[in-house]
Structure 1
Amino acid sequence: MNQLERILQDYFGFNAFRTGQKEIIEDVLAGNNVLGVLPTGSGKSICYQIPAIKGNDTVIVVSPLLSLMSDQVKQLKAKGFKKVIAINSFVDYTERHFLFDQLDSYKLIYLSPEMLQNNRLLDRLKRIKISLFVIDEAHCISQWGHEFRPDYLKLNPVIEALNNPPILALSATATPEVQKDIAKQLNNVPLNKHIYPMDRDNIAFTVQALQSKQEKVSYLKQLLGKFPVPTMIYFSSKKEAEFVASQLGDSLQELRVAFYHGGMEQVDRILIQQQFMENQLDVICCTSAFGMGIDKSNVRLVVHYHIPTQIESFIQEVGRAGRDGMSSVSLVLYAPFDDILPKRLIESELPTTEQIPTIINRLDSLARSDKKVDLGSPLLIEEFQINETQWRFLHYQLEKHDMIKEDQILPIYDKKAEILEAINQRIIERTYYKLNKLDEILTWVTGVTCRREQLYQAFQPDSSEAKYFCCDYCDFTFNKWEPIVEAKQLVESSWEIELANLFLLEGK
């Protein structure tokens, strides 16, 4: 057994690497820049965790998934690797700056892309030797990526400031177009590509056409009554997730059902997540906020109650099913007018072209007044009548056009018309692109050919042969499905018992 296999076994409990892992690790350890595209649930994190454990210098991991960072830090520490830390918005100001001064004592540092814009942090990172700069969810670095995070587009200057360490860019949903754009956004640095098929042969795909919300709920009650398996149901509406969770919980009292969305308190979200991971809940009615970075092996059914806005999001969410390789199903529920909600969500992601002149004029006026303006203030966003996502987009565009520099507004004088035209053009292009992406998934939902082939055709030339069932157009029906139904774990869940367990006296 060589050193890599020994680390894999000692720290992660696996006897062999999954497809692509060892090849990527060896390439990274040789000091090469690497682009790795591996299917969701294939263990991408091991590709940078093992180099961090094996090496003497520091590995930086940039990730947008805050819950993933926290989970991986906790898991690595439990396995005996203590030199790991995550710094993001979950960490309060005082602790954050304490950690900045301790960075040289860590070998693996998880950071959000936004945190890397902190000058004090960057100054501390410059003082340590960095052996690898990892960009997780690397499709976000592409302007065509399915999660538009402006701070991903600012990573290049950061990499240069850190003396250009080797780069590992990882993704599960990068089309050939996005792969090219990732390289372009990284100044066309040579990247050794390790691209593996994205489709999972143990997941069957099916779409159920229904007529209304009520029919969707009735269908789910019937289906989950027959198949009481670990299930994730995705919604685009927090309110609807709560409502359906209540309906299912009332009707199927033998099932343990909960809801999860970004509007909940962090403590509640963590509790629900842990209960699902520990098989103490059967069904989660959730928004896209749930599941990112969650590695639960026995999810048998992933349902999309609402249509996501694009295929990449759908593939990410479907990939949370059947990570143990056993027979699992992706189910999409589709009713008339189901395209209205995703179109509204797309419209809400960007400011309108009508809003831009008012915002530009107001910012220009503030710049000329010499007033100190907090560009992160909720009051400013409220005054502009836009949401945080829209402001992030606009803030980045204004930085590009030199109206914002180092979080200060600058007067634009005779450049106003030029800036207005450039930003409005970008909004039009971006909206057009997003609506086209929505059309792609709507075409897939209403398609009349093999769903597996159609779903992955933009990502790879061929799809795998199905291990159990392919799709509802080829061979799948729920009448044929015989999933593993595990015995439920009995849990006493009162807060008094939980508290007693925390303070349990020895021998009692």
Structure 2
Amino acid sequence: MSTDELIYKTLKERFGYETFKPGQLEVIQSVLAGQATLAVLPTGMGKSLCYQLPAYLLGHTTVIISPLIALMQDQVAQLNYQGEKKAVAINSNLEPRQKHALLRQLPQYRFVFMAPETISQPAVIQALQQCQIDLLVIDEAHCISQWGIDFRPDYLVLAQIKHQLNPGATLALTATADAQVRHDILAKLDLQSANRIITSVDRPNIYLGVSQQADEASKNAFLQQLVTESQGPGIIYFSSRQKTVEIAAFLQQKTAMRVAYYHAALSPQERFIIQQQFMQGQLDVICATNAFGMGINKANIRYVIHYHLPQNIESYLQEVGRAGRDGQPAYAMLLATPQDTYLQQSLVSFGIPEAGLIRRFYQEPTLFKQSQGNEFELLRRYQQIGMDEQAVSELLQNRQKEKRFALQTMVDYLNLQGCRRQFIVNYFDEQPQQVAHADQCCGQQDSTVFLEKFNLKTLTDDKSPKIDGLDHWDGILKQLF
């Protein structure tokens, strides 16, 4: 049996599909050929299949670097739902005894999920070196560019770890990467000769809307109208944890919708329960920060609303792409007031140490031994991985320039008079195509007329993976936490 025949046989028998979505087959063929691969597939196009299917044909260990604990747990739960028992997430939620036991048993697992901060630990690397690693996957690889400088520097040592582990193949997966981000991913993973498989980001079934509001009161009134008149589940994104709580309470009071809020300050148990309630249709609306959504495989989300202006077009598109995965009509609405741009401008420099602080830290490190905060943790980690003052200063200055440029691009999108889908395609696609602009494509809204025009209907055929209902969650939580 040829390799392609085996691929299709596994696709049908393991996953229940007859055909691949655009890009999937090419990625799988590249991985099975032992090629380093960068795959850029739109949100909802089944990126997980690109490493899950090869793992069954390769037969040993596949290691997946994942940015969020909630995402790892969701992926393990989905694999368990599909009947896979040899999947494990090793993260900071584990007790030391549990972690040590799992590290001793790693060769028994087919899928091993870890964060960059976990895989960079010497004991973990040593345990992984006892495994035959067929495939190393960097999931949500755009985080290397967006997070790896001013937030999570362990992303910057993944190339070194890759060489230590010597996997059969390496796969970097993302849904959103423009030319600069693709360059960053390949450079920082030392994959310059990788195959690049890039499909269009265009999602014609998602209407792209913007609504400019005079102030927060009018924004809230418009939001209430949107949520009331829209049918089907939806997500509302915020830049502020406090606002997720405030607006969730506002919508609970003003509408009949079942609403909850979700942000990173909630306990793992709370986040897990809220996520599963939404997945199973027990909640209509989630008010969330960007902590919610990576890996959420819910097919019938009908709308994604941004209450605040996102900091960059990559994050915006990643979040918008969670709507309409069933191919049915959905919409994305970006709400904006004149104050929103100032809010994001104030956040651009947040957490990035200034040049004077970097200089003092390197000159007199003992002064900062007890200092708390993201800036100091960042500098300590850079020092640990051997970067000097000049290299850190240049890196962070460049990162700040990139963040300012990214925010300006988002402002350009907000104020755009032309076709928003064309703007996105031109920004991301290597070979931009002319999109078919129409009323159902994009627009500027000051009312809910567009809801009447599209007549968005409730779709009850939700193909999202299910975990048994609330009665069984105590047992699930004990296993996961």
Fold in common (TM above 0.5): yes
Match of 1:137 among 99, 122, 140: 140
Q: Which residue of 2 aligns with 1:477?
A: 450
User: C-alpha distance in 2, partners of 1:42/1:272?
Assistant: 24
| Contact 1:452–1:463 (8 Å) recurs in 2 | no
Following superposition, the deviation at residue 439 of structure 1 comes to: 0.7
> Using a 3 Å threshold, how does the CA distance of structure 1 residues 143 and 280 change in structure 2: closer, same or farther?
closer
Once residues 451 and 64 of structure 2 are traced to their aligned partners in structure 1, the CA distance between those partners, rounded to angstroms, is 41
Match of 1:325 among 324, 327, 331: 327
Q: Give the Cα separation in 2 of the matches to 1:120 and 1:397.
A: 20
Q: 1:446 aligns with which of 415, 423, 426?
A: 415
* Cα distance in structure 1, aligned partners of 2:176 and 2:394: 27
Give the whole-Å Cα distance in 2 for the aligned partners of 1:262 and 1:252. Answer: 25
* Residue 336 (structure 2) aligns with: 334
In structure 2, the residue corresponding to 1:293 is in which secondary structure? coil
CA distance in 1, matches of 2:355, 2:320: 35
Give the SS at the match of 1:17. coil
Match for residue 395 of structure 1 among 373, 380, 386: 380
Matching residue's letter, 1:431: Q
Helix, strand or coil for the counterpart of 2:45?
Answer: coil
Conservation of the 8 A alpha-carbon contact between 1:140 and 1:146 = no
Select the structure with the greater relative contact order (CA < 8 A; seq sep ≥ 6): 2
Q: Distance in 1 between matches of 2:60 and 2:384?
A: 34
From 415, 421, 426, give the equivalent of 2:395: 426
- The residue matched to 2:202 in structure 1 has which SS? coil
Equivalent-residue separation in structure 1 for 2:150 and 2:459 (angstroms): 35
Amino acid aligned to 2:64: V
Q: 1:277 aligns to what?
A: 279
Question: Aligned partners of 2:167, 2:174: CA distance in 1, in Å?
Answer: 21
Sort the Cα spacing of 1:488 and 1:316 in 2 relative to 1 into closer, same or farther, 3 A.
Answer: closer
Q: Is the 8 A contact 1:57 1:130 kept in 2?
A: yes
Q: Quick one: distance in 1 between partners of 2:460 and 2:45?
A: 26
Which of structure 1's runs of 4+ aligned residues deviate more than 4 A?
Answer: 143-148, 400-403, 486-489, 497-503
> How far did residue 199 of structure 1 move?
1.7
> Is 1:46 matched with 2:31?
no
- From the superposition, tell whether residues 51 and 488 of structure 1 become closer, same or farther in structure 2 (CA, over 3 Å): closer
Is 2:122 aligned against 1:119? yes
Q: Distance in 2 between matches of 1:9 and 1:192?
A: 26
Aligned to 1:435: 404
Which of 106, 109, 130 aligns to 2:109? It is 106
1:238 maps onto 2:241 in alignment: yes
Q: Residue 42 of structure 2: SS of its match in structure 1?
A: coil
Is 1:168 aligned to 2:177, yes or no?
Answer: no
Q: Distance in 1 between matches of 2:179 and 2:76?
A: 32
1:226 and 1:351 map into 2 onto residues whose CA distance is: 45
Out of 298, 305, 317, the position equivalent to 2:307 is 305
Shift of the alpha carbon at 1:27? 1.6
Asked if structure 2 preserves the Cα contact closer than 8 Å seen for 1:199 and 1:463, the reply is: no
1:196 and 1:147 mapped to 2: Cα distance?
Answer: 29
- Note the residue ranges of structure 1 that are not aligned, 5 or more in a row: 367-372, 374-379, 404-418, 490-496, 504-508
SS class of match (1:133): strand
Tell me by how many angstroms 1:306 deviates.
0.2
Partner of 2:216: 213
**Of 314, 318, 321, which aligns to 2:316?**
314
The one of 14, 19, 38 equivalent to 1:16 is: 19
Shift, 1:479, TM fit: 2.9
Q: CA deviation at 1:244?
A: 0.8
Is contact 1:11–1:80 with CA below 8 Å preserved after alignment?
A: no
Inter-CA distance 500–184: structure 2 relative to 1 (3 Å threshold): closer
**Corresponding residue of 2:479:** none
Change (3 A) 1:23 1:227: same
C-alpha distance after superposition, 1:99-125 (max 9, x if no partner): 010011111111111111111111111
Shift, 1:155, TM fit: 1.0
Q: CA deviation at 1:422?
A: 4.4
Q: 1:147 to 1:25 in 2, by over 3 A?
A: farther
**8 Å contact kept, 2:150–2:351:** no
Q: 1:79 and 1:423, CA in 2 relative to 1: closer, same or farther beyond 3 A?
A: closer
Matched, 1:465 2:436: yes
Q: Which amino acid aligns with 1:235?
A: F
Residue 480 of structure 1 aligns to a residue whose secondary structure is: helix
Give 1:235 deviation, angstroms: 0.4
1:71-100 CA distance string (max 9 Å, x none) = 121221222221111111222221111101
* 1:207–1:332 Cα contact (<8 Å) kept: yes
**Matching residue of 2:200:** 197
> Which amino acid is 2:282 matched to?
Q
Structure 1 CA distance for aligned equivalents of residues 205 and 382 of structure 2? 43
Moved more, 6-15 or 137-146: 137-146
- Residues 488 and 141 (structure 1 numbering): CA distance in 2 closer, same or farther, change over 3 Å? closer
Residue 120 of structure 1 aligns to a residue whose secondary structure is helix
1:224 aligns with 2:209: no
**In the alignment, is the contact (CA less than 8 A) between 1:451 and 1:473 conserved in 2?**
no
1:123-148 Cα shifts (integer Å, max 9, x gaps): 11112211111111122334797985
Give the number of equivalent residue pairs. 461
Q: 1:33 to 1:444 in 2, by over 3 A?
A: same
Which residue identity lines up with residue 339 of structure 1 in the other structure?
T
Instruction: Tell me the residue number matched to 1:261.
Output: 263
Q: Deviations over 1:200-250 (max 9, x none)?
A: 111111101111111111111122222232110000011111111111111
Distance 2:263 2:170 in 1: 33
Q: Which moved more, 1:175-184 or 1:17-26?
A: 175-184
1:353 is displaced (CA, Å) by 2.8
Question: CA 1:463–1:331 in structure 2 vs 1: closer, same or farther (change >3 Å)?
Answer: farther
Q: Aligned equivalents of 1:172 and 1:498: distance in 2?
A: 32
CA distance in 2, matches of 1:365, 1:479: 62
Asked if 2 retains the 8 angstrom alpha-carbon contact of 1:202 and 1:467, the reply is no
SS at the partner of 2:349?
helix
Contact 2:229 2:451 in 1 (8 A): no
Q: What is the alpha-carbon distance in structure 2 between the residues aligned to residue 229 and residue 146 of structure 1? A: 38
Q: Which amino acid in structure 2 is aligned with residue 482 of structure 1? A: N
- Give the aligned residue type for 2:441: C
One-letter amino acid matched to 2:39: G
1:181 aligns with 2:184: yes
Rg bigger for which structure?
1
Describe the superposition over 1:391-421 as per-residue Cα deviations: whole angstroms up to 9, x where unpaired. 3432343245557xxxxxxxxxxxxxxx2x5
Shift in Å, 1:357: 3.9
Query: Residues 501 and 308 from structure 1, CA distance in 2 versus in 1: closer, same or farther, beyond 3 angstroms?
Result: closer
SS where residue 395 of structure 2 aligns? helix
Q: Structure 2 vs 1, CA of residues 297 and 147 (structure 1 numbering), >3 Å: closer, same or farther?
A: farther
1:363 match: 365
Q: Percent identity?
A: 37
Return 181-190 or 299-308, whichever deviates more: 181-190
